Structures are given as structure tokens and as C-alpha cells.
Amino acid sequence: MNTLFLEEDDDVRQHELLYDYAQASALSVDDSMAFIAEVLESVT
């Protein structure tokens, strides 16, 4: 198993920013369900 340990403050800060960006750009639960349903309909 490959595990990543962040020890430097700058490394932690960069990963926090990336996580915050991903979280802010994520769809809501309802929008995610609608998107998944739409994709499923298009491939079946």
C-alpha cells in the first residue's frame, strides 16, 4: 500500500486548496443523482 504523508506546511496548504476547489466545484447530491441518471439513460 502506498501512503502519502504530508509533513511540510506548504504541502498541506496546497492539498487543502485542491480539496477546497474540488468541494466547491462538486455537484449537489440532487444534481449528482440527476447527472448519473442522465448518463445511464444515454448509454442504455
Residue 1 forms part of a structural domain: no
Residue 1's pLDDT is: 58
Residue 3 forms part of a structural domain: no
Residue 18 forms part of a structural domain: yes
Q: Where are the beta strands (DSSP E) in the chain?
A: none
Residue 44's pLDDT is: 84
pLDDT in tens, the chain (44 residues): 567 788 899 999 999 999 999 999 999 999 999 999 999 999 98
Residue 5 forms part of a structural domain: no
Report pTM.
0.59
Q: How many domains does the chain have?
A: 1
> Is 7 in contact with 13 (CB distance < 8 Å)?
no
Residue 15 forms part of a structural domain: yes
Separate counts of helices (H) and strands (E) for the chain = 2, 0
Residues spanned by the domain of 35: 10-43
Residue 32's pLDDT is: 97
Residue 17's pLDDT is: 97
- Residue 44 grid cell: 442504455
Residue 4 forms part of a structural domain: no
